[in-house]
Structure 1
Amino acid sequence: MKKTASLIVILFHSYLQSQTFDGNLGSQSLKWTTEQKDFNSAPRFGIAPMSIKLWDNYEGANAPSQWGTLLEINGKESHLDSQLYFTGSWDNGRILYRSAFYGQTAWQDWRYVLDSKNDVESSGNLKINGTGNSGIGTSNPEKKLQIDAPNSDAGLRIHAVAGNNNTNTPYLLLTGGYLPNNGVALQGISDQNYGRKALVFYSGWEGDIDNPQISALKERMRISSNGNVGIGINTPSNKLDVNGTIHSKEVKVDMTGWSDFVFKKEYNLPTLEEVEKHITEKGHLENIPNEEEVLKSGINLGEMNAKLLQKIEELTLYVIEQNKKIEKQNERIMILENK
């Protein structure tokens, strides 16, 4: 009888061992007793190899949240041990993940599993593979990256959080192609104390085209923090400083006065003798800057045009006066010839 019972047990056990899991779990198939997880424990503690275990967390020490549920999946002996932690709705219903691989005796840091509802937090690089477009605030992006936002706050901020007050790090680098001079960039440059930024425009690539760096570009234009603009010069002291040639169809200069005062009766027109004396002593016309001043400080276009017009109007008065004298002389000559 005992032999018969033993044989039945052996055959039944062999039958169970020969069954394979078909992927379906019946009612009451997985059951765990309530057990608090020790989150300070080392990997593979409290769970057997090749098993799955569910833990309940209620104010566990060093847990990702005050309350939650932990699902742990352990592989072969000393192989990969993985944990998924589920927070409740009071923690925005998020999922965290950490693991320890072969030979690791400490857990890696918790990291959030990406979802579409909550903020994305990651200490690694965010990479999006594929040939499609990416959109922020839009479900139908038309470009590789499209950002839609309300009119009241449609902005993009690039902020350097590290470094001192005078950091020059924020920049936008645009490159394309494999030929020289294929890069342009915008960068915030500190031009005063406490990190006040000038906006600098770069072009003219001269570095490694396969490893672009903003330091290999040439500065072309700068808008300083005080509003001055420099083209070809990085220390503009005027609203627009240009180190080079300007080609324009028209230049308009606003003036606060003009030189027509020369034609007023009260104007004291210098005599030609006075003009000659000033030229002899000074080497230039009165009220006109000399060569040294022009080479050192340049000229004010509007002011110089007004001064030149003043001299032209004075010259016109001299011509008129000389013409009157010539006419009188011609009258006297005619009188003498008629005698």
Structure 2
Amino acid sequence: LTFETALKLRGGPSLVLAHSLGNNVFRYFLEWLKLEIPPKQYIKWLDEHIHAYFAVGSPFLGATQSVKATLSGETSGLPVSEGTARLMFNSFGSSLWMMPFSKYCRADNKYWKHFSGGTRKDHHIHQCDEQEFRSNYSGWPTNLINIEIPSIRGLEAYPSVSEVAHNNFSSIECGLPTQLSFSAREISDGTFFKAIEDYDPESKRLLHLLEKSYHGDPVLNPLTPWDRPPIKNIFCIYGIDSKTEVGYYFAPSGKPYPDNWIITDVIYEIEGSLFSRSGNLVEGNPGPTSGDETVPYHSLSWCKNWLGPKVNITRAPQSEHDGSDMQVELNVEHQEEADIVPNMTRSPRVKYITYYEDSESIPGRKTAVWELDKGTLLDPQF
């Protein structure tokens, strides 16, 4: 209704600016719209009603901090305890909407299924390609969760949910706690919540919420990679090069729920490397840079996949300058499903903004990505 009203009053299409989780909401709207109107009218409607979409700080593949908020609480500076913050966060139906997931796993195409006679009550079939099982960590820098489970006698007390989980449990020794590790896929498909259900009273409810409201959503399983929307102009804007959490170590605290887990260590990405909270270098698959303090680079930069086969790259200082510090690379080859990193210099005391723009693209469709050094969601520039 808002888009229709804007078109009627202004006589032209709208600009959409979505921030953080708002991008997930906008994605859901687009998928819902696709099922509501005839296929031939969908692109026409978008062209008439939306001129450009600005995705600001979008967690395209989820955010690691949502894991912390779910298990131990994230106060975000509020004057409440972490346990209270955990209770509040887990009471939201949208709490799992920013859970990390694998870029290699997708759901069935609900759009074509709908118009070929399928019903909206059908559950999405979740399928992962071979790369998911050949690569480490579901394409993320490291395992997102490493959790210490109290040891008890007998394997039957441990739920068997997947081959990976079974392999984890097989190392349990009586009398000793066991550390289990979980990738982004194992979080988003419910393996993790199933594995800890004997030790956490909240996990069964979260697993039910995950299966009913996410995997079983009649419009979209949001815990799947997002293809470029067929909108004329898309601008993807996010901060980089800040210390960002990408993994956690949890252990039982000995306290009752909601304070039953404590974080014993944190893994950060910074300057192309992974470090623990104590400062030790951690092995993994770090990206060329880090995220914006809240969302890892791996998730923020997913929209680079939306760029065309050739890209123009411009890097300039964020502060006022005379143009002499600008660097430009034209027609840079961009491989599908691959990151694109410019071969440009940096002055250590200068914060830059790097623009990636289509040199070649689908006619009538332009994509641009803006990376802001040290830019965060709280930065006035956003």
Q: TM-score range by the shorter chain?
A: under 0.3
Which structure would you say has the larger RCO, counting Cα contacts within 8 Å and 6 or more residues apart? 2
- TM-score (structure 2 length as normaliser): 0.17
Rg comparison, structure with higher value: 1
- TM-score (structure 1 length as normaliser): 0.19
